[in-house]
Amino acid sequence: MRKPIIIANWKMYKNRAAAVAFCQALVPLLHTTEKADIVICAPFTQLDVLADALAGSAVGVGAQNFYPAAEGAFTGEVSLPMLQELGVRYVIVGHSERRELFHEDDMLVRQKVQAAYAAGIQPILCVGERLEQREQDMTVEVCSGQLLSAINGLTGTQLRTLIVAYEPIWAIGTGKTATAADAEQVISALRQAVAAQYGQAVADCVRFQYGGSVKPENISQLMAQPNVDGALVGGASLKAESFIQLVHYA
Ligand code: PGA
């Protein structure tokens, strides 16, 4: 069965000292065996101290962005081997903030997914619709389009390890959450879209998260849905007390 996975997306928050303080508060609260995988995706400048502070714990370290070339004349960019050197094992790809604010398109998202697999780093692929697309009943079309484009060319073995975060853009940082039933409906349609192209056995392995104003008060309802395997959490992941409640959602 799919192991639940709870991921913190710190976005552009915290400094190095705050990252270490968070880990010092979090790690003693973790159980020796957690029923969910746990990952923290931090800004570049905190990744090394995060990896040190989490060494020996079950919590993985993730980055929020990278450039899909090993090295080269790409001023301002950071490569996957550079991240790996810091202990990074996960990367967020295709977050709506990157798509909207930094104009990342489906082509770049696909290149990033492929580069991550080639480097042996686990991508966390984000898909999601805008409010007007939801209002026009285009949610599944938009999200499955983003998803199928991003995974085009992957092998079945790669796909089985994929993590997809369904994040309706109108629910990110707004306090508006999709209902658990909405999240389940979209995610089950996305799983079906993967099954139609790659087979049910592969689709059944993909872990789908919901993201968008997840907090301690709504996580258990979301996680109770059969197709929801985890959560990608921004705001409520910034405080250790609230993040530990999300990790121990049951
Ligand atoms: P939020 O962010 O939990 O603050 O809504 C989620 C995300 O953008 O990944």
Ligand 1 centre and the CA of 128: distance in Å? 12
Say what the pTM is: 0.97
pLDDT band, residue 177 (cuts 50/70/90):
confident
Q: What's the pLDDT at 175?
A: 84
Ligand 1 neighbourhood includes 214 CB (under 6 angstroms): yes
Ligand 1 centre and the CA of 73: distance in Å? 32
Q: What's the pLDDT at 159?
A: 98
State residue 46 phi and psi, 5-degree precision: -105, 0
* Catalytic residue set: 95, 167
Tens digits of residue pLDDT in 61-85: 999 999 999 999 999 999 999 999 9
Residue nearest to atom 3 of ligand 1 (CA): 234
> Where would I find the beta strands (DSSP E) of 10-159?
37-42, 59-63, 90-93, 122-127
Q: End-to-end alpha-carbon separation of the chain, Å?
A: 17
Across 213-223, average pLDDT: 97
Task: Round to whole Å and give the CA distance between 5 and 222.
Answer: 13
Ligand 1 neighbourhood includes 81 CB (under 6 angstroms): no
Could you identify the atom of ligand 1 that is nearest to the CA of residue 126? 9
Could you identify the atom of ligand 1 that is nearest to the CA of residue 215? 3
- The whole-chain average pLDDT of the chain stands at 97
For residue 250, pLDDT beyond 80: no
Across 9-18, average pLDDT: 98
CB 206 within 8 A of CB 159: yes
Tens digits of residue pLDDT in 107-161: 999 999 999 999 999 999 999 999 999 999 999 999 999 999 999 999 999 999 9
Task: Round to whole Å and give the CA distance between 19 and 43.
Answer: 10
- Give, for 95, the enclosing helix (H) or strand (E): none
Across 11-37, average pLDDT: 96
Place of tokens 């960019």: 77
Question: In terms of Cα–Cα distance, which of 100, 162, 94, 84 is closest to 126?
Answer: 94
pLDDT band, residue 102 (cuts 50/70/90):
very high
Ligand 1 centre and the CA of 70: distance in Å? 29
> What is the DSSP code string of 185-222?
HHHHHHHHHHHHHH-HHHHTT-EEEEESS--TTTHHHH
**Residue 166, SS3 per DSSP:** strand
Could you identify the atom of ligand 1 that is nearest to the CA of residue 97? 8
Across 205-217, average pLDDT: 97
For residue 60, pLDDT beyond 90: yes
